[in-house]
Amino acid sequence: MTVAKNVKCCALNSDEGPHFEILPKAGLDVHPGNRSANFWNADELVEELQGCCSVIAGSEPYTAQVLKQLPDLRVIARTGVGFDAIDLAACDELGVVVTTTPGVNHHSVAEHTIAMLMGLARGFPNQDQRVRTENWKRIARPRVMDRTLGLVGLGRIGQAVATRAAGLGMKVIACEPYPEMDFVDKWGIELLELDDLFATADYVSLHNPLTEKSRKMMNAETFSKMKQGSVLINTARGALVDEEALVNALNSGHLSAAGLDVFDVEPLPVESPLTKMSNVMLSGHVAGLDIESQRDTLTMAAETIIALKNGEWPQMCIQNLSGVKDWSWDR
């Protein structure tokens, strides 16, 4: 096989799909990932990507240590919109393009967020567990209609959640530094500072990016500012939440429940206290995954790789190399 033609699929659920038809038509060889390997281990990831020009990437970490051992790598095509597991500075230095797939999975994340919200509102998973153990208990819970949902972030995903919440009869408030006012006005969303949102919302849902400033933004101090009995939902990035502080807030009763799709360490260790709590709903980083988004994400990732190979520069998808005008597929 020619080194410059190999594309490896490391993202989960990427071992089949439209990219296996799209990439070969452009002269690229696409290969499923070795699922017995641990891509979160630097040595195993390096071994997997030897001789690859591109990778269809998931959440595995692309550190400077990893990147410097992959001289053939030209493109990291991330299946999703997050790229915090990738050392962008190292990619800039080495001329590796980092791409994402914006605009294809926001409906999936929104549906998952609402599913968690409704499940927690109706007392799942505890209700399910009680029935399985013949320990029925009828508990009246607050209706979702007329409750307040606070969105931290009002981009594509936050907006998709907002419209669904409005359909449930919820009041929607949001904290967003760069709001689209036409959308805000159309849906009657109240914009608040973060502390005011925490004090007002019955449900707080995170849809903001992970930055050094936002890392562990949900901590003991911010949990104390949240409304008594409120609920936290995180389908964004695990590192936004201090999990130890969250466990304490749940145990104290200050928060009544939490829905988490993402975690500081993934997979979530089974010994985590979160796995033992009946008022916590967990899922394994799947909020952005439905049949439609999986198809469209893999299609966009493949088409972006091909565009770069052909000398194009799909700016909307590229997350690094700002101002670079002389990048070339051939070094």
Residues annotated catalytic, as ranges: 237, 266, 285
**Residue 291: other Cβ atoms inside 10 A:** 8
Query: What angle do helix axes 106-121 and 156-167 make, rounded to 10 degrees?
Result: 40
| Single-letter residue type at 250 | L
3-state secondary structure of 80: coil
Q: 141: which residues sit within 8 A by CB, 6+ positions away?
A: 121, 122, 123
- CB-based contact 144:167 (threshold 8 Å): no
Two structure tokens written together for 301: 């990732």
Label residue 304 exposed, middle or buried (CB < 10 Å: 0-12, 13-18, 19+).
Answer: buried
**Residue 234: other Cβ atoms inside 10 A:** 24
**DSSP secondary structure letter of residue 43:** H
Two structure tokens written together for 222: 């911010």
Two structure tokens written together for 258: 């939490």
Taking the C-alpha atoms of 229, 163, 11 and 237 in order, what is their torsion angle to the nearest 10 degrees?
-30
Q: Describe the strand order of the beta sheet including 255-260 as a list of residue ranges.
A: 190-191, 171-175, 148-152, 203-206, 230-234, 255-260, 280-282
Two structure tokens written together for 281: 């709903």
